[in-house]
């Protein structure tokens, strides 16, 4: 830094030559032109502390030609910059330059009305009784001649099936009573351990048909069955069970009036 001569320092009035020299020294020491002061003193002063403008604006251009020109994101964590080549703004975070989206790139979730409704928060609601066979999830590829069947367990959904197999439900009696719940499928097997009174439940609504089979396996002690009063047998006479141990009798039932009447048929007796 050039030396400035003052009267107090000199002890006598400045001469014309000293005044001119002072102006020359002041001019050379301006921040704009003094490389030594700019690169050392000024930079060191700014880096050493935060720059507080007291609420005033700081106007500067912070544009870089390309992404490769950006400084270290780790060193300048939190810095904002504009890259001319991409037309985007970026900020430094966790060692990387993160681009800011344009307003035109921000997705606005539309509102829907009708069968499927949604609001701007993105939640969608499907109205009751809307999902049909075209929208149900099917677990595998269809095969000609196959039919859709419900999958059991927590997987849910539908699967294509040949239709050649059906569920078989094993029932047991308790306190001389057992229920054949038609929701469990169209086939039942009961290995008798006591005399039993049957109840048939959950048939299809009137006008639709529910049909099912019942395989009865006799006990070592001949057991008896009391059929529901709604069962109509041929000649109003219920069949007599096979009395031999492990004897198999097979019966078929169907109803088309919601279970008011079940028509019962003997498909075979003493099958084993």
State the pLDDT at residue 150: 74
pLDDT at position 47 is 63
Position 136 scores a pLDDT of 66
CA neighbor of 144 nearest in space, from 162, 166, 165, 164? 162
113-123 pLDDT, tens digit per residue, is 777 787 766 67
Q: If you write DSSP's letter for every residue of 53-93 in order, what string do you get?
A: -TT-------EESSGGGS--TTTTTT-EEEETTTTEEEEEE
Domain range annotation of the chain: 1-49, 57-105, 169-268
Note the pLDDT of residue 39.
Answer: 54
184 vs 170: CA distance, rounded Å: 10
pLDDT along the chain (272 residues), means of 10: 74 81 72 50 63 84 94 94 94 95 78 77 76 67 78 66 80 97 95 98 96 97 97 96 96 97 97 82
Under 8 Å between Cβ of 79 and 98:
no
Residue 145 to residue 160: CA distance in whole angstroms: 10
Q: Of 205, 212, 217, whose CA–CA distance to 173 is shortest?
A: 217
The continuous run of DSSP H or E covering 20 comes out as: helix 16-28
Q: What is the pLDDT of residue 48?
A: 63
Structure-token match 């039942």, residue found: 188
pTM, full prediction: 0.47
Per-residue pLDDT reduced to its tens digit, 64-105: 999 999 999 999 999 999 999 999 999 999 999 999 988 888
């Amino acid at each position: 830094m050039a030396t400035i001569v003052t009267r107090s320092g000199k002890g006598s009035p400045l001469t014309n030559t000293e005044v001119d020299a002072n102006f020359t020294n002041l001019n050379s020491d301006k921040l704009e032109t003094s490389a030594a002061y700019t690169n050392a003193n000024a930079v060191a002063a700014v880096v050493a502390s935060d720059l507080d403008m007291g609420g005033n604006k700081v106007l500067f251009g912070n544009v870089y030609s390309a992404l490769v020109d950006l400084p270290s994101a780790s060193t300048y964590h939190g810095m904002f910059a504009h890259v001319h080549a991409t037309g985007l703004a970026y900020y430094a975070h966790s060692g990387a330059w993160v681009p800011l989206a344009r307003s035109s790139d921000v997705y606005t979730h539309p509102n829907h009305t009708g069968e499927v409704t949604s609001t701007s928060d993105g939640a969608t609601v499907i109205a009751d009784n809307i999902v049909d066979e075209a929208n149900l999830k099917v677990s595998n590829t269809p095969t000609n001649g196959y039919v859709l069947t419900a999958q059991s367990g927590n997987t849910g959904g539908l699967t294509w099936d040949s239709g050649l197999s059906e569920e078989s439900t094993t029932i047991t009696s308790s306190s001389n009573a057992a229920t054949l719940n038609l929701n469990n499928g169209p086939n039942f097997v009961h290995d008798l351990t006591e005399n039993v009174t049957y109840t048939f439940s959950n048939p299809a609504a009137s006008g639709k048909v529910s049909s099912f089979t019942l395989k009865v396996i006799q006990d070592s002690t001949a057991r008896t069955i009391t059929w529901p009063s709604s069962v109509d047998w041929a000649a109003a006479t219920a069949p007599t069970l096979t009395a031999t141990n492990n004897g198999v009798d097979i019966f078929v039932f169907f109803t088309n009036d919601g279970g008011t009447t079940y028509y019962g048929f003997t498909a075979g007796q003493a099958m084993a």
